[in-house]
Each structure stands twice: as structure tokens, then as C-alpha cells.
A and B are shown apart, each in its own frame.
Chain A
Amino acid sequence: MNNIEENIVLLNKYPNRRIFEHRFHEHLSKLFTYKLILSNVELNNFNVSTYSGLEQSVIEHSAFFEIHEPKEVDWDSIDKQKILFKNHLKLLLQNGHYDNNQLWITCTINTIENWLIYKSMYPETINNPWSPLIEIYNHGLVHFISDDVLEVANLKRGIFNGKNEQFIGNISYLVKGVGKNINGLIVDDRYKLQTVVFNFLREQAPNHKSVINLKLIREFLILNNIKMSIEEIQVKITTPLKKTGFIGSSQKGFFFISDQEDLLVSYCFHMSKIVSIQHIMDKYIDRAKKDFDNYDLNEECNNPF
């Protein structure tokens, strides 16, 4: 994600969860990497205070994770861009269905500013933690983040129903376009569980020769009164942990990457998966050419909504 739409058109229909759910968790995972690596303090609630603190830590400690030194930030340029985006959003939302536009504008502009700052610091990076939120914005949605239960419940009725009730105290992420429909999600306990499993792997699977498989991770969680299916563990815990770059896997299981050899083992394992998947993709492209009149799968795949 290198660019932000300067003149977006806000979505005029109900915000589909597919637009924002995965991307929002991708954003949180990028922030959360800092907590996993730089602080072993356990996570209680993932509230606004924790979220804000992570934003701050990312900006300040980014040099720990980036290859290049940070560049100076042109604050005048950022101020000018903020004003342009703010005025554009005010214009788009003033004819909308919702009165309290300021909440949405302030939060969205805050994110845009963070993205601009990080991009100024590291123009070539692929690791900008706010890029996933910019993608959501480019799809025509503004957002609001809050842990105030009453405020969130007033905006999105029913968000705390059912099993979500147990996550009250965590941040909620709400989105809207120009219409009156608001969608959103409340952050569940996956980040707390990621901390638990990360520390477990760091101690019990310190390298590629001492691995722990999914079954053992599941048993470990059960011992800690946490019941999850293997699929849930993969989606919510182990795959995000691998994306930090500090947890690897091989055919035998998961491990903490502590040296070059660990990194190589995990890299080669994933490379073999990519090669295997590429064979499948190549077959689909052949079929698209032969049987479906040169249908451009790549182009269609990039615009699923």
C-alpha cells in the first residue's frame, strides 16, 4: 500500500465485514508485534489506552524493526495534507445521515496522519502498520475506535450481544460510509492468547530442533482453561505470530526463531509451500486462457468487492 486516495468517494451501502475485518486485525498485529518483542508484560484489556500506547511505541521504536534509518519528517507538509483530507471528509459527510461526524473525522485523520508520518520516516517500507487501515479508507469507509461501552453500543446496536459480551473493555472498531449504516467489530482475546503462546514457544521451543506442534499448543491452552479448535489456533494465534518474523514453523511444528539457521529452516519450509501453491495457480491461469477466453484472473482477484 503506497498511496492514499486523496479524493475518495465514501461507500454508499452497508459496509461489508470482508472489507475491514481482516485488514483491521492485520493493523493490530503489526502494532502488537512491538508489545510481543519489546515488553513481556501480560495484556489484560486491549483498551484504547493500550492501543494508543502501541501506536506511540511503533513510532518511537520503529528503528528496531526497520532496515533503514528513519528520515526527517516534513511536518509542514503533513499539516497541509491533514487539512486537505479533513476538509474533503467534512464535505463528504455533511450531507450524510449521521450527525456526529467529528468522531469519525478525528479518528480517521489521526490514522491518516500516523500513516503519513511513518511513510515520511521510511518511504520504502512495506511494514507501515497503518497501511491496512488506509486500504479500508481507500474502499470508502471512515472509522472510529473506542472502548467506551455506551458510546459504542449507541453507534452499533447489538455489537455486545452473545459471546462478544465477554470482551467488553476491549476496543471496538466501527466503520461507516456516507450512509447511516454502521458496521464494526469488538477485539476479542486473540492478542492476549498470542502473548501466552509466544512466551510458551520462546521457552519451550527455543529453536527449530525443539518444536511444538499444534496439538501440543492446543493441549497447553486447555491446561490454561482455554478451549480452541486447531483452525482457530491457526487463524488467531500461530499465523499472526509467524507474521511477526520471530516465530517459525517446519513440518514438525512451531519454534522461536533465535538464529540464522532457525530462520533458514522456516523460510525453506514456507518456500516449498509457495512452490506447491504456484503450481496450482499456474494451472488455473492455463485454464482461464484455454477455457474461459483469456479471463484475467489477476485483475479480477485484485478487485473482489
Chain B
Amino acid sequence: MPENTYMFDHAKDDSSIQNIELGCGCGNFGQVFYPKCYLIDNNVDLTTNCNPLYINFLCSAYDLPWENDRFEMVIICNPWNYGFSDPDESSILLAKELNRVLRQNGILTILGNKYNKYCIPQRIKKTLDNCGIKYQIIEEISSDDLGLEYYEGYIFKSSSGISTIVNVRLMIKIEKLNEN
């Protein structure tokens, strides 16, 4: 499939789709557990390496092509090589972009591994604080059985093809009192 098949086109945007999963890889987690969900990633190789291929659009999480206040929920599932590893710099860029596309009181759902430096809850909160983003933690779960308990049957995988272990879930309501 040519890469431009996965380029976002505003004319094709389905406004009924209220959720978006960033960095979906070869998986379809967002669509399985949060229906009406776009799946996006910026890795062009996915279009040739994934079988089946679920991705909707190729784009960067740091520069999403949608307008402000577009989504009810942004989902990030065990990110690697992007996310909240720095208390400043790229983490702030990401936080601001998520804040931009989420609606008032939209939800940021982040699943991860407790040793994954890109989605450690304290780093996420620190980044949001540094941005001046108002938020409320709705849920923070840490459990070795999280995958089995909430997402039974779904196999999370990294880009190396090895399964990944999801044992932390953070759900954050973004209050958006400030404009970006």
C-alpha cells in the first residue's frame, strides 16, 4: 500500500470518531477496547511490515493534523522512543499537543510498564505541571495482572515483535482552563 494512502485528509475525517490511539504499531488496541477510535503511528515501515495492518493514519504524535478540541480520549499504550521521559523539552511538546486536541474534560489514558521511562506516572504529572495544564487524576492502577484483568486476550507487542507487559494504567482528565 502506498504511504499516501495513510496521509490524513480533513475531507475524510469522521467526526463520529471521538477516540485516538497514538503509536499503535501493528496492533489495534484502541479499536478493540475503545470503539470509534483512530489508530495512528509515524513509522512508515508499518505499512510493509504489519500483517494485518490496522493503522488509519501516518502522522506524528507531536504534530497531529486535527483541529483543536477534537477528541474525547487520547490513548497511549506502552510507548517507547516517545512520551514523557524528560521533564522538559519533547515531553512538554507532546503534552501541549495532547492538550490541544483533547476537548474540555477530555481523558488522557496511558497504559504502560512500571519500568518504562516514557510513561512513568510521576514524570507525566511533572510534565503537565510544567506546562501549566490543569488536570485531575481519575485513576492510577499498578497491577501485574492488569493486562489479564482488563484486556484479557489482547497481546501487547513492542516493535521488536516481543510481547510487552502492561502493568500500569493512568487516566487523566484534562480540564483545559488555559488556551495553549
Contact = CB atoms under 8 A, between A and B. Distances in A.
Interface stretch (A42-50, A262-270, A274-282, A296-304): A42-50
B45 A60 contact: no
Contact of A56 (B45, B80, B86, B120): B80
Interface string B101-119: 0000000000001011100
Contacts of A121: 115
Contacts of A41: 161
Contacts of B116: 56, 59-60
Contacts of A57: 158, 160, 162, 164
Interface residues of B, number: 24
Interface size band for A = 20 to 34
B160 A35 contact: yes
A125 interface: no
Interface string B33-48: 0000000000101000
Contact of B164 (A35, A50, A60, A117): A60
A213 interface: no
A52 interface: yes
A38 interface: yes
A63 B159 CA distance: 20
Contacts, number: 75
Contacts of B159: 49-50, 52-53, 56
A78 B85 CA distance: 11
Contacts of A38: 162-163
A79 interface: yes
A39 to B, nearest CB: 5
A44 B51 CA distance: 14
Nearest to A83: B87
Q: What 7 A-B pairs come out closest when comparing CB atoms?
A: A53-B160, A53-B159, A53-B158, A41-B161, A56-B80, A57-B162, A49-B159
Interface of B: 43, 45, 49, 78, 80-81, 85-87, 113, 115-117, 120, 122-123, 158-165
29 contacts: A34-B160, A34-B162, A35-B160, A35-B161, A38-B162, A39-B160, A41-B161, A48-B81, A49-B45, A50-B159, A50-B160, A52-B80, A52-B160, A53-B161, A54-B158, A56-B164, A57-B160, A59-B113, A60-B113, A60-B116, A61-B162, A61-B165, A75-B120, A75-B123, A78-B117, A79-B87, A79-B123, A113-B85, A117-B117
